[in-house]
Amino acid sequence: MNRIRVLIADDEPIARRGVRQLLAAHDDVEIAGEARNEREAVRLLQEVAADLVFLDVQMPLLDGFAVLDALVEPKRVPLIIFLTAYDTFAVKAFEARALDYLVKPVNARRFNEALSRAREHLRGAQARHLVIGNRGSERVLEMNAAVHEGGRRHLVRESLDSLEARLDPARFVRAHRGAIVHLRFVAEIRSARLGESALMLRDGTRIALSRRRRRSVEEAIHQYAG
């Protein structure tokens, strides 16, 4: 998995330093920016493609929830771990779909648990973000395969074998050595002359289906529709 890009948003210098110190023990994390107030937090969240943000609930002008509400077309919506000196905002934090909620002073064990949850979530999301549908606009830029969506082609720096190993076999099938397909977009299997077959996608795209893979693909489609 790529390094986790983290933002820290807290008006208290001591709190920011504490998060930096806890993150320093994790080699797969890089700090992409720090915000000292709510305005800087909104700007960074708008401009920086971060994976995770540690966001203080209580800042002088806007609270952490208002910071999220103020976002307009951010580069990427990161995972949110709220930080606060009080536990009274827990319900509201999870209503805001926060990944976790840490009470200051942050306990190292709880911090590492929250970061582990973020790591696992991002590992799964990394595979899910390759699911690009007809009307989607997601692009995978950090990953030698090509992802096709809506008539567009996006290069990824990863072999299909490696990609296949990370994807959920209940949702993805290998149609031939050069194509992996999400079962949600399969309309039918169409037979052609000389025993050749193809997967027809819902947008009309035709994907060749190798003979040796046809049976396993048929079973996968049946189970998915099941």
| pLDDT tens readout for residues 70-125 | 776 555 678 899 998 877 766 666 566 688 889 888 999 999 999 998 998 887 65
Query: What is the fold of 4-128?
Result: Rossmann fold (3.40.50)
CA distances from 135 to 121, 131, 138, 185 (A): 24, 11, 10, 11
CATH for 145-225, options being 2.60.40, 1.10.10, 3.30.450, 2.40.50: 2.40.50
Annotate 51-85 with DSSP letters as a single string.
Answer: SEEEEES--SSS-HHHHHHT--S-S---EEEEEES
Tokens standing for 213?
């893979």
Q: Which of the residues in the chain have pLDDT under 70?
A: 1, 72-76, 89-97, 124-159, 162-163, 166, 193-194
**Residue 37's closest CA among 14, 19, 63?**
63
For residues 202 and 187, give the distance between their C-alpha atoms in angstroms, rounded to a whole number.
5
135 in Cβ contact with 115 (< 8 Å) = no
Give ranges for CATH 3.40.50.2300 in the chain: 4-128
Bridge partners, 80 (sequence order):
53
The structure's pTM equals: 0.55
Residues of the chain with CATH 2.40.50: 145-225
Q: What proportion of the chain, given as a percentage, has pLDDT over 90?
A: 31
What is the average pLDDT score of the chain? 79
Strands (E), the chain: 4-9, 29-35, 52-56, 79-84, 100-103, 145-149, 152-156, 172-176, 179-182, 186-191, 197-201, 206-209
Q: Are 96 and 80 in contact (CB under 8 A)?
A: yes
